[in-house]
Amino acid sequence: MSHFTHLECSATCGAGPFAPQERQFLCPGCGMPLLARYDLEAARAWKRESLAGRDANMWRYRELMPLLPGDEPVTLGEGMTPLVHARRLGARLGLSQLLVKDESLNPTNSFKARGLSAALTRARALGATTVSLATAGNAGNAAAAYAAAAGIRCKVFIPRDAKRPFIDESRLYGADVVLVDGLITDAARIATERRIAEGWWDVSTLREPCRVEGKKTMAYEVAEQLGWTLPDWMIYPTGGGTGIVGMWKAFEELEAIGWVAKGQRPRMVTVQAEGCAPMVRALREGTEKAEPWANAHTAADGLRVPRAIGDFLILRAIRESGGTGVTVSDTEMVDAMRTMGADEGISAAPEGGAAYAACRRLVADGHIKAHDRVVLFNTGGALKYLDVLA
Ligand SMILES: *Cc1c(COP(=O)(O)O)cnc(C)c1O
């Protein structure tokens, strides 16, 4: 049984709370993201031991997932990905405890599977017949696959210059793909116009409350895989920011139900590309929100996000954690993909490579110490990005 009780405005404008059955997307009061809330007091009765016999996917945490009574998840087996102790990669940097959370092993080859599994579960439960989203690539593939699994139609709006595999894979799962001139923000504008006209169900990043709930399970898993402790650092390549926002929320929930002791949250590091780093710039400038990035360009499609609606949530999480922001060049990312592959047999997307390159920088700067426990997120696999290796 899930302890899901309501949706709440993330910006505390005072609107809501909204019942789980309501067809809400952004806060009707202020247009900011909504977050799912649970009866955490009641959830204290849920014991860690109950996980022992459960399936190895993210729905093993269903008590704190946004499920309506009697509802079943739309699942392809996402989550419970390996947390690899990368000894050779760590040794290069003088780190004894470098761990890679390998999200490339999810359905559709990236961690976007988690958010879209949760979003399509809600969409199906509330009667959606067509979902739509703007995407830089991987989210569209995951949306298309989970929509197929749910028996729902899917409309994917993607920049025309996106890599071919992202376009072809969405089509493979039966989605209608619309190619848009410009960036993901331009795709979002056109997707919104069409969605309003057609009455489609929006599953875009942070414009739908359940994608964050799927992504937060990465933090539950890391905690479980580390015997209910947390690492010293988490290094996360950031685009729209659902992962950071979700994991920061997950720590709060794990503490509230007594599964993880208070005071051991990791420092969160946001990694962005030199050619698109709105969060890193906002951290340096000390602003509460991030100015949109002009002329965004990078080989890491998932990081080519010039403006994020949840910017204030991302920045708040990084600051509260005592973390920081790092930018890396495309060359560094691609070199890191090769290093991760050759050292550890890990298939890393440029975004995953960026996390390793950022880690190297933080070690060199003296931020990360030799015996710190560091978790890098390899958010996707290399195969959709073969052009960057050519
Ligand atoms: C979407 C994406 C990201 C960025 O994730 P957010 O949680 O939206 O910040 C990073 N890496 C890959 C491979 C992605 O597809």
Nearest-5° Cα angle at 383, 382 to 384: 100
> Torsions phi, psi of 81, nearest 5?
-75, 160
Q: In angstroms, what is the span from residue 240 Cα to ligand 1's centroid?
A: 7
Q: In angstroms, what is the span from residue 220 Cα to ligand 1's centroid?
A: 18
Closest C-alpha residue for ligand 1 atom 3 = 302
Q: Closest ligand 1 atom to the C-alpha of 246? A: 7
Q: In angstroms, what is the span from residue 205 Cα to ligand 1's centroid?
A: 10
Closest CA to 159 of 142, 176, 184: 184
Neighbouring CB atoms inside 10 A of 163's CB total 18
334/55 Cα distance (integer angstroms): 35
For position 205, what pLDDT does the model report? Answer: 86
Q: In angstroms, what is the span from residue 8 Cα to ligand 1's centroid?
A: 24
DSSP state of 244: H
Using only C-alpha atoms, the chain has a radius of gyration, in whole angstroms, of 19
Closest CA to 368 of 380, 353, 356: 356
For position 157, what pLDDT does the model report? Answer: 97
1/10 Cα distance (integer angstroms): 25
Q: Closest ligand 1 atom to the C-alpha of 205? A: 8
Q: Closest ligand 1 atom to the C-alpha of 237? A: 10
The tokens of 117 are what? 């599994």
Task: Say which residue the tokens 């014991």 belong to.
Answer: 47
> Torsions phi, psi of 302, nearest 5?
-65, -15
Rounded to 10 deg, the angle between the 330-344 and 350-364 helix axes is 90
Strands (E) located in 263-319: 267-273
> Torsions phi, psi of 278, nearest 5?
-65, -35
For position 183, what pLDDT does the model report? Answer: 86
208/281 Cα distance (integer angstroms): 26
Q: In angstroms, what is the span from residue 239 Cα to ligand 1's centroid?
A: 5
Q: Closest ligand 1 atom to the C-alpha of 215? A: 7
Pocket of ligand 1, beta carbon within 6 A: 110, 112, 138-139, 205, 237-243, 302, 349, 351, 379-380
The alpha carbon of residue 359 and the mean position of all alpha carbons in its chain are separated, in whole angstroms, by 19
DSSP per position, 253-279: HHHHTTSS-TT-PPEEEEEEETTB-HH
Instruction: Give, for ligand 1, the residue of 101, 102, 105, 110 to mutate: max count of ligand atoms closer than 8 Å to Cβ.
Output: 110
How far is CA 121 from each of CA 24, 65, 328, rounded to the nearest angstrom? 15, 11, 36
Three-state SS at 279: helix
For position 16, what pLDDT does the model report? Answer: 84
Question: How does pLDDT run along the chain (390 residues), one tens digit per residue?
Answer: 899 999 999 998 988 899 999 999 999 999 999 999 999 999 999 999 999 999 999 999 999 999 999 999 999 999 999 999 999 999 999 999 999 999 999 999 999 999 999 999 999 999 999 999 999 899 999 999 999 999 999 999 999 999 999 999 999 999 999 999 998 889 999 999 999 999 999 999 888 999 999 999 999 999 999 999 999 999 999 999 999 999 999 999 999 999 999 999 999 999 999 999 999 999 999 999 999 999 999 999 889 999 999 999 999 999 999 999 999 999 999 999 999 999 999 999 999 999 999 999 999 999 999 999 999 999 999 999 999 998
Type of residue at 213: E
247/261 Cα distance (integer angstroms): 16
DSSP per position, 160-171: TTS-HHHHHHHH
**pTM listed for this prediction:** 0.97
Q: Are 309 and 207 in contact (CB under 8 A)?
A: yes
Closest CA to 132 of 148, 112, 153, 150: 153
Instruction: Give, for ligand 1, the residue of 101, 112, 206, 271 to mutate: max count of ligand atoms closer than 8 Å to Cβ.
Output: 112
Rounded to 10 deg, the angle between the 278-285 and 311-321 helix axes is 60
The tokens of 69 are what? 């009574």
